[in-house]
């Protein structure tokens, strides 16, 4: 198992460096400079932009700047944000919690709805559950997240006035748990619906495959009731594929949360990344990129380890994910 983990890390590390290098290059070749933005916003420390660019290290060759950033990363230093003057790591740490709350709630709701719906759709293919699963998949796959956000805001916030359209807490409030749930409802619903279709689809497929297994026929032959067969055998046998779907869906979930956080003014990693890109806050963009990349790689590595424990052929290199 140790050799297997080492082999997986040897493939992840070059990809990580490649991603950070590409992002660094794209930021460097983007039109304009940080100094231009600081000058336009009236926040420049000096009127001499040449001196400002020199202080920020923008005049150094790209390889030199990247290697310097990489060296600081190895020492746990993500740099300073030119917008706030605060350490990037500190700003990211404040945004991780809200992102986890929003994304975790949305995904948890999607799982809680997808598992019973997908299971019942497979168990009773001609029932209303299968039709409902098809409708959920159609809405989830067919309606973009930003459009779904606008529709929900128009209905529940602007028309009915039931739910707030932005922020994490009410301005001036004490930040109670109830107020958090009140503001969490709409953005979490968007993330839930956006991911529900894929989870329902994979749950239904996993259950259909499990229903055709020999041990399910054996359970029927023993005279077990349908409910017992469904819960004890079909459902349990489908948990591993469902878990796999959730873990492999992480990059899509993170990408969707960026749009949702921006539209709803949620103070998470997504909105931080969006603002940093627009303002060319290089250090902040690179810091968020590192966190997202490590999250995705850690999830994939965890998934590989699970498969490696379940299937020895994966560890021996005769199979893989």
Residues 167-177 pLDDT 10s: 898 888 888 89
Residues 247-300 pLDDT 10s: 777 777 888 888 899 999 999 998 899 888 888 888 899 999 999 888 888 887
Please check whether residues 290 and 254 belong to one and the same domain: no
In our burial notation (b when 16+ CB lie closer than 10 A, e otherwise), range 36-51 reads ebbeeeeebeeeebee
Work out the mean pLDDT of the chain and round it to a whole number. 82
pLDDT at 42: 47
Rounded Cα distance between 163 and 134, Å, is 28
Please check whether residues 66 and 98 belong to one and the same domain: no
Please check whether residues 152 and 270 belong to one and the same domain: yes
Both structure tokens of 238: 């489908």
Instruction: Please count the structural domains in the chain.
Output: 2
Please check whether residues 130 and 177 belong to one and the same domain: yes
Please check whether residues 22 and 164 belong to one and the same domain: no
Both structure tokens of 129: 């559950």
Please check whether residues 120 and 251 belong to one and the same domain: yes
pLDDT at 22 over 50: yes
Both structure tokens of 143: 């309606």
CA-based nearest residue to 200, from 287, 141, 284: 141
Residue with tokens 């922020």: 167
Please check whether residues 230 and 118 belong to one and the same domain: yes
Please check whether residues 220 and 175 belong to one and the same domain: yes
Q: Across 20-65, where does the E strand assignment appear?
A: none
Quickly state the pLDDT bin for 217 (edges 50, 70, 90): confident
Please check whether residues 73 and 31 belong to one and the same domain: yes
pLDDT at 59 over 80: no
**Is 209 exposed, middle or buried (CB count within 10 Å of its CB: 0-12, 13-18, 19+)?**
middle
Read off the pTM. Answer: 0.81
Both structure tokens of 25: 């290059």
Both structure tokens of 221: 């032959």
Phi, psi of 160 (to 5 degrees): -90, -25
Rounded Cα distance between 108 and 122, Å, is 21
Please check whether residues 208 and 97 belong to one and the same domain: yes
Find the domain containing 18 and state its range: 1-83+283-321
Both structure tokens of 222: 């023993």
pLDDT at 261: 92
R_g of the chain, CA atoms, integer Å: 24
Contact, 216 vs 233, CB < 8 A?
yes
What is residue 224's three-state secondary structure?
coil
Please check whether residues 111 and 222 belong to one and the same domain: yes
Quickly state the pLDDT bin for 44 (edges 50, 70, 90): very low
Quickly state the pLDDT bin for 48 (edges 50, 70, 90): low
CATH number at residue 250: 1.10.3720.10
Rounded Cα distance between 253 and 104, Å, is 10
Residue predicted with more confidence, 216 or 133: 133
Rounded Cα distance between 321 and 319, Å, is 7
Rounded Cα distance between 303 and 225, Å, is 34
Quickly state the pLDDT bin for 41 (edges 50, 70, 90): very low
Rounded Cα distance between 189 and 109, Å, is 8
Rounded Cα distance between 221 and 209, Å, is 18
Please check whether residues 310 and 231 belong to one and the same domain: no
Residue with tokens 């400079």: 33
Rounded Cα distance between 202 and 243, Å, is 10
């Amino acid at each position: 198992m140790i050799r297997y983990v080492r082999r997986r890390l040897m493939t992840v590390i070059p990809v990580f460096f490649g991603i950070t290098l590409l992002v660094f290059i794209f930021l460097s070749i983007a039109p304009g400079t940080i100094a231009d933005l600081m000058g336009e916003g009236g926040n420049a420390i000096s009127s001499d932009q040449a001196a400002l660019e020199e202080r920020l290290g923008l005049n150094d060759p790209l390889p030199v700047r990247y290697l310097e950033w990489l060296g600081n990363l190895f020492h746990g230093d993500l740099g300073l944000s030119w917008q706030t003057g605060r350490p990037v790591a500190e700003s990211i740490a404040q945004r991780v919690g809200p992102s986890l709350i929003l994304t975790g709630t949305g995904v948890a709701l999607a799982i809680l709805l997808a598992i019973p719906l997908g299971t019942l759709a497979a168990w009773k293919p001609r029932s209303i559950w299968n039709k409902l699963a098809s409708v959920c998949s159609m809405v989830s796959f067919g309606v973009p997240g930003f459009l779904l956000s606008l529709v929900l805001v128009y209905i529940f916030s602007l028309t009915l006035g039931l739910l707030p359209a932005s922020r994490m807490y009410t301005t001036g409030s004490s930040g109670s748990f109830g107020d958090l749930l009140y503001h969490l409802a709409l953005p979490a619903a968007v993330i839930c619906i956006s991911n529900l279709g894929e989870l329902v689809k994979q749950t239904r497929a996993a259950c259909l495959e499990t229903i055709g297994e020999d041990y399910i026929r054996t359970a029927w032959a023993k005279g077990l009731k349908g409910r017992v067969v469904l819960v004890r055998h079909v459902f349990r046998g489908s948990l591993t594929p469902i878990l796999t779907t959730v873990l492999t869906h992480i990059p899509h979930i993170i990408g969707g949360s960026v749009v949702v956080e921006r539209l709803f003014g949620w103070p998470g990693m997504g909105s931080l990344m969006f603002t940093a890109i627009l303002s060319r806050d290089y250090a902040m963009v690179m810091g968020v990129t590192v966190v997202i990349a490590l999250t995705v790689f850690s999830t994939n590595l965890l998934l590989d380890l699970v498969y490696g424990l379940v299937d020895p052929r994966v560890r021996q290199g005769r199979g893989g994910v």
